Amino acid sequence: MNIHDLVDFLKNYDGESIRIMEVCGSHTAAITKSGLKSIISPKIQLISGPGCPVCVTPSAYIDRLIELSKTENTCIVTFGDLMRVPGSKSSLNLEKGNGANVKMVYSPMDIIKMAEDNPDINYVFAAVGFETTIPVYTLLLESLISKDIKNVKLLTALKTMPEAIEYLIQAGAKIDGFIAPGHVSVITGKNAFYGLASTYNIPFGITGFNPSELVIGIYGITKMICEKEKLKEKNIVPLKNFYTSVVRDEGNDTALNLMKKYLQPYDAVWRGMGEIKGSGLKIKDEYSFFDAGSEGLSEDIKLNKGCSCDKVLTGKITPHECPLFKKVCTPLTPQGACMVSEEGCCFQTFLSEPQ
């Protein structure tokens, strides 16, 4: 079968209606860009999950960043898309006009030169992310220790994906299959999803990001959903790797060891979803000198009471079912995090439809 045959299969699918969730923000953006939703059968529903790290960071974390950014001799260093995320009252971007000291970088390692050049400034890196980004923060910690740099700390909001997926399954999100996160799987390996696939007998397909890779992954997941019972009889766990060019069974040992060395699991709060057991990583007590006060940033206040990001993130409603969507909540006036990030479900849905 070539790629056009697979597209035809997805186009003509006429089996039971199924819901497939992607739990990676990059997949959310890639699916929109591929135009896939415009050609596949309406019986295959693609739903976005809590896969955008910016979207699941609670408001207390943003509030704390803003507070630090206005502290004397302190500079917040961050990736770009965190700038616009609303806290309970404001965002870093808005506060920049009110004297907040914020610098945008593309690599956390850039902070080292800043810290060396300006020893009187205390730098705080806004360390937000999933397994994909977390190893870089541990590399940063390793460099800070080896170079004996004292004026850099991290404000962490680090989350791990398998625990969140399990939460969704247990919360009754009615998902028939998961597009497993491609970048996360590079670090964790395919086997990180084995337990979930076998315990709940829900198909998982690790999938790439270009249009053809998406078609292959979604085709494979749909097939597994259709043959789920047959696979179970044969004791075959419905887990497949369709992104073999970069994802291995065991993951990246170097990255995983660094994570073990510097970080420990804790019960993290996800924006709109609440506390999920063991779903976060924080800096180990012995390295707590580098923590800028990440503990207890769990309060999650909505900027707008009508915001339904929580229900969107968990696949309970589509963005269209949120009362604010396209009305007061637009990419220029985001009321919730899903509308802020390029990887947010609402942002992508907004963009994918003629206004």
For other proteins, the binding residues (CB under 8 A) are: 3, 7, 25-26, 29, 32-39, 53-54, 79-84, 104-106, 110, 128-130, 132-133, 183, 211-212, 215, 330-332, 341-343, 347, 350-355
Radius of gyration of the chain (CA): 21
Dump strand ranges (E) for 224-262. Answer: 239-241
Q: Which of 189, 238 has the CB closer to other proteins?
A: 189
Q: Which of 84, 271 has the CB closer to other proteins?
A: 84
The CB-of-51 to other proteins minimum distance in angstroms stands at 10
Q: Which of 129, 177 has the CB closer to other proteins?
A: 129
Q: Which of 22, 81 has the CB closer to other proteins?
A: 81
The CB-of-49 to other proteins minimum distance in angstroms stands at 15
CA distances from 32 to 7, 284, 285, 297, 329 (A): 16, 39, 42, 33, 19
Cβ atoms within 10 A of the Cβ of 223, count? 18
Buried-state track 38-60, b at ≥16 Cβ within 10 A, e below 16: eebbeebbbbbbbbbbbbbbbbb
Q: Which of 93, 264 has the CB closer to other proteins?
A: 93
- Integer Cα distance of 47 and 353 in angstroms: 16
The CB-of-32 to other proteins minimum distance in angstroms stands at 7
- Integer Cα distance of 95 and 118 in angstroms: 23
Q: Side chain identity at 46, as an amino acid letter? A: L
The CB-of-38 to other proteins minimum distance in angstroms stands at 5
The CB-of-234 to other proteins minimum distance in angstroms stands at 32
Q: Which of 34, 304 has the CB closer to other proteins?
A: 34
Q: Which of 36, 165 has the CB closer to other proteins?
A: 36
The CB-of-354 to other proteins minimum distance in angstroms stands at 5
- Integer Cα distance of 293 and 156 in angstroms: 8
Number of DSSP helices (H) and strands (E) in the chain, helices first: 14, 11
Q: Which of 55, 309 has the CB closer to other proteins?
A: 55
The CB-of-154 to other proteins minimum distance in angstroms stands at 14
**Angle of helix 134-146 relative to helix 110-117, nearest 10 degrees?**
30
The CB-of-337 to other proteins minimum distance in angstroms stands at 12
Tracing tokens 């923590």 back to the chain, one arrives at: 291
- Integer Cα distance of 269 and 299 in angstroms: 8
Where does residue 88 rank: exposed (0-12), middle (13-18), buried (19+ CB within 10 A)? middle
